[in-house]
Amino acid sequence: MKRKARERRPARPWSLGSRVTRGVVVALVLGSLVAVGPPGRSAHAVSTKPNILFILTDDQRSDAVPQLPKLNAQPSWMRFTRAFVEEPQCCPSRSTIFTGRYSHHTGVDTLESGAKLDESRTIATMLHSSGYQTGFLGKYLNGYPFGRGDYVPPGWDTFEAYEGATDYYNYVFNRNGTRVSHGAAPSDYSTDVWTSEARRFLSHTDPAKPFFLEVAYNAPHRASTGDPVPAPRDVGSCANVPFPVPPSFNADDKNSEPAWLKAEPRVGLYDMARQRRATCETLRAVDDGVVAIMNQLALAGRLANTYVVIMSDNGYEFGEHKLFGKGDLSEESVRVPLMVRGPGVVPGTTARLTSNVDLAPTFVEWAGAQAPTGFFDGASWAATARGDPRATQPGEVLLRGCRSGRDMTPHPCGGYPVDMGMNWGLRTANYEYVEYPNGERQLFDVVHDPYEMSNLASDPATLGIRQYLHSRIVARRGF
């Protein structure tokens, strides 16, 4: 007599997490099913301190998170809906991330001033001194190695950074003092190479010691030859992705514009759409890369004790306010994605006003490390991430802008059609305020005017608001 077949229960839908099956923890990590070993067992001692994996993209604006579809689909993230960068340019922003200090304190306030960074006091040195294995992979600072030979900055156990152009093909990087060249084969595609280097770093780390790893992809930055370059497998992947044209596209300010902005030429709709699509397709390899890195952590049984943070060094404009690029203080330029998951992190969203200056203090708190007294300009958001109702909520973030005109030699802030001049700004929950060196001002009510099209700075009724915001700029920058 045949036994009656056991009724099979329908499979439960998976989410980022794990379950125990026959003594093996099986985890679905961002769309891939992996076995991560028996619970509570390990062939090696495992650190009780948390690991930190920091993923930095290049020129990814805040509304481009859906262009990382595998990451975006996961419910385990806390997402910061009001995340900004203090100065929206690669070199100043990265220096601020390394130190938790404003660009006028790091001395790196243009694209060409990376050599001024004091590399002896960075997140790498602080965490290394606290027992962390530290690794940096990808785009470091513009101009590296600053004529100093193939040197490795202090604090990094593993350091691999572009020397010269940060392209997708035909580039050179310094691997711990040795120059490594890549060509134009599909296997040389830089995003995939940095993912492989990250996995190599993780496979060589001691599980008994915590790690801090920064993977600084150059994607989706424009290539030296033009548009961003997607991996061959991703060409056409965003062909059907819509890119809505906002009301601010090629628009003049309804009230008044600063002289530099009034002089900006309009941009082409087709060109902007083409570049947005190339940006989207280039981010697909980043999506794959982070999945691969996290899967490796899961296989090693280390994902549950790892904070994963994803952010961009600045935003980008594709025709809003007639602008293309970055460096100014419009929302598209300064607002960036910020997502975090890890031990004790509460999934969901937070409206905490947050800046890249807050990353280093957060990493130090997670690591139980020490920073010099009074060193940080930012503040940790670790309490916010774990859902602590007592977490501090900053009232504003400081901003600094710079765009160099094409007729300037050199171009310290990029070669844009019109020189803007270095300026200061402040972003609050309700307002964005900018002060230019020639006395011009911009004030936008971002609640009622989210596209920043109506400059209220000339309205006498806003005098009190402008005076208050100016006082906060002075307080934040220290002069």
360 three-state secondary structure: helix
| Among the listed residues 150, 100, 107, 108, the one whose alpha carbon sits nearest the alpha carbon of residue 127 | 100
What is residue 375's predicted lDDT score, i.e. its pLDDT?
A: 98
Is residue 2 predicted with pLDDT exceeding 80? no
What is residue 27's predicted lDDT score, i.e. its pLDDT?
A: 41
CA pair distance 207, 41, nearest whole angstrom: 13
CA pair distance 329, 400, nearest whole angstrom: 7
Residue 259 · residue 440 · CB < 8 Å? yes
Query: What is the percent of the chain with per-residue pLDDT over 90, rounded to a whole number?
Result: 89
Is residue 159 predicted with pLDDT exceeding 60? yes
What is residue 376's predicted lDDT score, i.e. its pLDDT?
A: 98
203 three-state secondary structure: helix
Distances (CA, A) of 361 to 50, 135, 354, 376: 15, 18, 12, 7
Q: What is the pLDDT of residues 204-242, one digit of tens each?
A: 999 999 999 999 999 999 999 999 999 999 999 999 999
Dihedral sign (CA 202, 206, 208, 212) = negative
What is residue 34's predicted lDDT score, i.e. its pLDDT?
A: 39
Total Cβ atoms within 10 A of residue 370: 11
pLDDT grade, residue 20 (50/70/90)? very low
Which residues are CB-contacts of 367 (< 8 A; sequence separation ≥ 6)? 49, 50, 52, 126, 127, 130, 132, 210, 212
pLDDT grade, residue 319 (50/70/90)? very high
CA pair distance 236, 294, nearest whole angstrom: 26
Phi-psi map region of 87: left, alpha, beta (phi>0 left; psi -120 to 50 alpha): beta
| Tokens read off for 261 | 């902005």
Kindly report the average pLDDT of the chain as a whole number: 91
Of 90, 91, 402, 413, the active-site residue reads 90
CA pair distance 139, 172, nearest whole angstrom: 11
What is residue 28's predicted lDDT score, i.e. its pLDDT?
A: 42
41 three-state secondary structure: coil
CA pair distance 26, 38, nearest whole angstrom: 9
Cα of 41 vs its chain's centroid, Å? 35
What is residue 15's predicted lDDT score, i.e. its pLDDT?
A: 34
Q: What is the pLDDT of residues 275-292, one digit of tens each?
A: 999 999 999 999 999 999
Average pLDDT over residues 425-432: 98
pLDDT grade, residue 415 (50/70/90)? very high
| Among the listed residues 294, 293, 305, the one whose alpha carbon sits nearest the alpha carbon of residue 42 | 305
Residue 399 · residue 424 · CB < 8 Å? yes
Is residue 314 predicted with pLDDT exceeding 50? yes
Is residue 44 predicted with pLDDT exceeding 80? no
What is residue 311's predicted lDDT score, i.e. its pLDDT?
A: 98
| Residue 90 annotated to the active site | yes
| Tokens read off for 350 | 């937070």
What is residue 39's predicted lDDT score, i.e. its pLDDT?
A: 35
Is residue 22 predicted with pLDDT exceeding 70? no
CA pair distance 113, 119, nearest whole angstrom: 13
**Structural domains of the chain, with CATH:** 51-394 (3.40.720.10)
CA angle 9, 11, 15 (to 5 degrees): 150
What is residue 48's predicted lDDT score, i.e. its pLDDT?
A: 86
Is residue 64 predicted with pLDDT exceeding 60? yes
Q: What is the pLDDT of residues 85-104, one digit of tens each?
A: 999 999 999 999 999 999 99
Residue 50 · residue 210 · CB < 8 Å? yes
Is residue 115 predicted with pLDDT exceeding 90? yes
